[in-house]
Structure 1
Amino acid sequence: MRRRVTIPAAPSPAGTEPTSPLVIPDFRRFWTARFIAVAATLSMVVLIGYQAYDLARSDYGYSRSEGAFLLGLLGLAQFIPLFVLTPVAGWAADRFDRRHVAAMGNLTDCTITIALTVMTYLGALTLPILFALAALHGGARVFLGPAMSSIAPNIVPLRLLPRAIALSSIAWQGATVMGPAVGGFLFAEAQWLPHALSAALLIGSAALILSIRPIRAEQDAEPKHPVRQMVEGAQYTWRQRFLLGCVTLDLLAVLLGGATAMLPVFARDILMVGPEGLGIMRGAPALGASVVAAWMAWRPLERKVGSKMLWSVVGFGAATIGFGLSRDYTVSIIMLVLLGAFDMISVFIRSSLVQLNTPDRMRGRVSSISGLAISASNELGEMQSGLAAAFLGAAGAVVFGGAGAILVTAIWAVLFPQLRQADTFAPEFLDESPKEASP
């Protein structure tokens, strides 16, 4: 017997049915917490990459290609704890109050930024220290991701979920524009300053998350062993071809098409625009994504969403190729803006379809697997880009990755026809049946 726990809809003014997620106080707190946390962590991550590359080139005497490969290893350092802890993080998001899990992730990142502030100020940073802090961030993010992803469906009516995801993406992408850009300019003034600001923002984000009403997923009437529950999440995702196709498409396409790992190389040695230019370049994809997210929050997509997701990944690959071939800073920024716009369409559709086709009792675990795919595509993409750059150069690696993203999309359209068949955001592929994992 499975006990169904119904979480009441978020209250709306005068008892009326909400017409927008923004009229729901809990969603406004969630949106603000997401915005300031992403701004803080993206500033931190981008600057860790720049500081590591700069240290490798100036203090350790690395060549450009060796420095580029080091950036790939830095991404791997973030990915390893994420890979190991993903099952635990998904289980935690389904077992405990999701606010507490998310707040703990933010406070862990806050500890990292405080350490960066102190050691940067003292001039005590070394490559081993940066790698250790990057790995700790990977461990924090693995818990933060599924908890935050699972909160939104619990605080807004499901019919408003696609619009809530679009608005949440605006928070994410807007912060991705502002965080690295502001961090880059502050870094140019005083290298410790952006890390100190990130620490304060992360404390504020944790406080906002904890001010949301308690959120806990559906629970089984009879307790199961945590390992068994973790296995159930993986089995559910594997059985559902639609979910599996969505998750693996993002994994492979972005794994191959990740240009952002090479941005420090482009900023320092190819386009020669320094940390200020790096901040603008890092924020350019988010600018394109923010514009698209705002449009979709106002005019949500309604038909042929699956095919539009596939074509947007093709556009993402083409823009990646354009960036890799460009040697003009303005053209490079335009390509990065287009890259972000196409990626936003894909992310918005995929996130909506995955959330709406997953029962609440499994959202934390499925979100953790989806988050692992996203992180694998980012961190392992950095590793792949760094390795490819050692043989092809930074520009060649980016062009190669963009072409690979297009090829993967074509293959996935054939292997997973459900992706092409998804016409609307209605949960066509939702499976509520409580199939049990093997003991």
Structure 2
Amino acid sequence: MTWQQFKQDYLVRFWAPMPAVIAAGILSTYYFGLTGTFWAVTGEFTRWGGHLLQLVGIDPSNWGYFKIIGLKGTPLDRIDGMMIIGMFGGCIAAALWANNVKLRLPQSRIRIAQALLGGIIAGFGARLAMGCNLAAFFTGIPQFSLHAWFFALATAVGSYFGAKFSLLPMFRVPLKLKKVDKASNIAQDQQQAKRRFRIGMLVFVAVIGWGLLTMADHPKLGIAMLCGVGFGLLIERAQICFTSAFRDMWITGRTHMAKAIILGMAVSAIGIYSYVQLGVSPKIMWAGPNAVIGGLLFGFGIVLAGGCETGWMYRAVEGQVHFWFVGIGNVIGSTILAYYWDDLATPLATSWDKVNLLQSFGPIGGLLLTYLLLALAFAAMLLWEKRFFRRKGGMSAKIAAEVA
């Protein structure tokens, strides 16, 4: 294979979602084994909110939530912080390789309001549940934490209502038709594409070099950055978005991304299980009302905003301004939750047990139960898709008969 063919096939074209999500599951497994933590982003975004408060003279370090997740140092001192920097680096490099960077402004103020409000609701819900679509779902379920199952089911329900709410007339933006004299030329500027590809390679080499240099003195921090680069490449090139997985299921009946996510978790679970048997402790959170309420809010919020934690990150670096507001909303919402955590913690979270399925059902029992639940979820996707399109087909036939 020539360099040009490799470049076109693997660096410029989008990747197939199914193998990319499975690859993300495998990478998250190694990330857990090598760093001792899970692939997660909203916890670090909450810390960023805490740092912003410190800049304006407010000290949140004594808040109960920051005592749990920590606020010391900077993102450069934390595994999550370095991983997220690596993710942004990977997203930027991938977007530049494909010349997929263009400043795109929201079509209306309604979209900005949706992005900001939805981001706030999603950020609040994610941190109430102690995790977003990653820590409390994609990497939470393979960690054998019962709270992740509560969160996943609640997120599905919340996304259903979010989809219905987002289709209300108040959110419809009128189309503006513009008369043109001739068709516009949509061909890429080849010189611009080449320049951006080179810049993308420089960004890629820079973050990889940064990660390797960091490994010399702080191995886990360096590994976190390198894994983050991998995560960033995967989510941008394959356009991995958990919001679309839930939203498309309810609105269009398509479950391809949702099924890919289930398979990714299935692949990850056996790897996590192996590391746990070697002595690496899984991250188990409270299986309380916080997981359910947080999941409902998160599911509703991501659909209203139009993007989840992974989705807004890669779309933001592609120049989609809408998702800048989603990210800002995420930080605001998670920081608000941190402020109110002391009032909510006891009744909703900390008074409930942290349930580890491997401990509750035994190592083999917990593993088999996890795979059984994943299989049931996959079967539910197939049944929903079949029912959705059968119902749509029946409606189309009825309309055709009435017209005839």
TM bin, normalised by shorter chain, reads: 0.3 to 0.5
> Whose relative contact order is higher, 1 or 2, with alpha carbons under 8 Å and at least 6 apart?
2
Structure whose alpha-carbon radius of gyration is higher = 2
TM-score (norm 2): 0.32
TM-score (norm 1): 0.30
Q: Which structure shows the bigger proportion of residues in helix conformation? A: 1
